[in-house]
Chain A
Amino acid sequence: MPECFVAKASELKDGDRRIVVSGRHEVGVFFKDGNYYAYSNYCVHLGGPACEGILVNKVVDVINADRTYEGQTFTDEVHFACPWHGYEYELKTGECIADRRLKLRKYDVVRRGDDVFVVI
């Protein structure tokens, strides 16, 4: 499996990403909270650049013990949103949060010294 150079690890700050294009593959590589994640950059919806949108935490409704509605807040679960239409994906899994049966193709990321590679 060919490896494609992504970036120097020392250049990637928390929340940074790179888009790696290799032949017919287009991969978004994220660096977040000390981990690397890489997914296909083609949204499962209409093929938008899924990995090029904002990082945003999961939104939840806050429901009280008596089942009344309190408001909304963010959780610790990090998502990225396709900038075309807002399809949201969980950063750790690549699953589409609206229907987790849908997911982006996941790629392996390897680090050799200060060099980060994605396995295409």
Chain B
Amino acid sequence: MDMLRNEVRTLNPEEFSETKALDHASQQARARNYQDFLIVDVDSHHYESESYKDVFSYIESPVIRMEAMDSMLRAGRSGFLNSQVGYQSLGGRMTRHARRRHYKAKGERHRDVDMTIEWMDAMGVDYACLFPTPMLFLGLHPQVEIETALCRAYNRWLCERVLAQEPRIVSMLYLPFNDPDWAYRTVRDFGDKKGVVGFMVTSPRYKPVHDNAYVKTYALLEEMGKPLCFHAAYNWDDRGLATTNRFMAVHALGFMWFNMIHMTNWVVNGLPERFPKLKTMWIESGLTWAYCLMQRLDHEYMMRTADCPSLKRRPSEYMREMYFSSQPMEVPQDLSILEATFKMINAETQLVWSSDYPHWDFDLPSVIYDLPFLKDQAKRNILGGNAARLFNLDPKPVKKIP
């Protein structure tokens, strides 16, 4: 129970700590007794761009490494890496994005380790799966070899500087999906590293997931028992999305769009039948897209079975065996609609909670914990149990809520 406090505070924009910024999240964590059960965040982030100098030093090609290092001297002009137009902070309303530069690291470990553990404890999270931020757009880089080089450098850096330092931080490593051979080598070379619980395809890209070139990678993942996830993002240069003129529009559509395409290709081409033990997870598209796509594909499948003859069941039955991360969880005013969505995706065993912290539309564990239609066991499954089984994590809570 919280101690009763009496104080008057001023606001200091020159200070930042995750503990203070998330004080209300800690209040929720204590009030809901999160210390009694496991909470796993399957999708959180750091800003690897703040460590580019260090990351770039891991680039193996001396020529590409030289280009990368040189690009740091001309920030704001044409760069070595691609980017996207975006204004997630909405004119500075989300203040943590600017104020995080005032964060003071505590010790010898990388600053990102300290920051991550601090917000995890504040929220009541035991384990977090950490992903990069600007690299979510790297699949759109015009030079395939740059995606491959940076991916390999980042993965080596992350394994050495972050995952090896802190057992509560895990990751599904970036796959250089535009080069199928390097995607295979990435799984082969990093699959057994400490803290690597799977692999991640950034969804904004234009390679079909059913291409035969990826079969050996899927087979290796299946053999190793490592899940494959598709992490959503947007591409404002996509011809359709380019007609939108506000970030909320490209975000609302873009984060569903690429995962809807990849999921459709995955199912229609019978990959769940060809790789029945390969677990897939669909990240950061919310939940409504799955509810829609299940019905849409089932409807067409019944009339056009010859278009997807590898399937032995309706598309929704395969989708219901996949994993879905919860954030950004759309919460309609009529909760019966959300309850139906949970039923549709078999949430009790297939939904895995995610925060997406520190990004602009992060969720807290309370978005699941406070749902009136879930029983206690279902809440615990979604908040941590399902992910612990998928990632083979110790189910004993280890967090220290402030």
Residues of A that sit less than 8 Å from B by CB: 4-7, 17-24, 42, 46-49, 52-54, 56, 81, 83-86, 88
A54 to B4, CA, bound (A): 27
In Å, the complex CA distance between A17 and B9 comes to 9
Q: Which residues of B contact A (CB under 8 A)?
A: 2, 4-11, 21, 23-25, 27-28, 90-96, 360-364, 366-367
Question: Is B9 touching A56 in the complex (CB atoms < 8 A)?
Answer: no
Is the CB–CB distance between A86 and B6 below 8 Å? Answer: no
Q: How far is the CB of A27 from chain B (nearest CB, A)?
A: 10
CB neighbours of A20 from chain B (8 A): 7-9
Q: How many angstroms between the C-alpha atoms of A84 and B96 in the bound complex?
A: 8
Q: Is the CB of B93 within 8 A of A83?
A: yes
Which of A7, A17, A22 meets B11, CB within 8 Å?
A17
| Cβ contact of A7, chosen from B7, B8, B21, B25, cutoff 8 A | B8
In Å, the complex CA distance between A54 and B312 comes to: 55
Q: What chain B residues lie within 8 Å of A22 (beta carbons)?
A: 5-6
Contacts of B363 in A (CB 8 A): 46
Q: How far is A42 from B31 in the complex, measured between Cα atoms in Å?
A: 15
* Chain B residues positioned under 8 Å from A4 (CB to CB): 6, 8
Considering the chains assembled together, what is the distance between the CA atoms of A49 and B27 in angstroms? 12
Pick from A18, A24, A85, A86: contact of B8, CB below 8 A.
Answer: A18
CB distance A85 to B361 under 8 Å? yes
User: Hey, which chain B residues are within 8 Å of A46, CB to CB?
Assistant: 363-364, 366-367
**Cα distance, A79 to B364, chains bound together (Å):** 25
A47–B6 contact, CB under 8 A? no
Can you give 21 contacting A-B residue pairs, CB < 8 Å?
A19-B8, A19-B10, A21-B6, A21-B7, A22-B6, A23-B4, A46-B363, A46-B366, A53-B95, A54-B92, A81-B90, A83-B21, A83-B93, A83-B94, A83-B96, A84-B362, A85-B94, A85-B360, A86-B90, A86-B94, A88-B93
- Measured in the bound complex, the distance between the Cα atoms of B11 and A46 in whole Å is 21
CA distance A6 to B113 in the complex (A): 37
Q: How far does the Cβ of B172 sit from chain A's closest Cβ, in whole Å? A: 25
Complex CA distance for A13 and B90, rounded to whole angstroms = 26
Query: What residues on B are CB-neighbors of A85 within 8 Å?
Result: 94, 360-362
In this complex, the member of B8, B92, B95 whose beta carbon has the largest number of chain A beta carbons within 10 angstroms is B8
**Residues of the A chain whose Cβ atoms lie less than 8 Å from the Cβ of B10:** 18-19
Closest residue of A by beta carbon distance from B13 = A54
Q: How far is the CA of A47 from the CA of B96 in the complex (A)?
A: 16
| Contact B367–A54 (Cβ < 8 Å) | no
A19 to B, closest residue via Cβ? B9
Q: List the B side residues contacting A49 at CB < 8 Å.
A: 23-24
Q: Which 7 A-B pairs have the closest CB atoms?
A: A81-B93, A19-B9, A86-B93, A83-B95, A23-B4, A21-B5, A21-B7
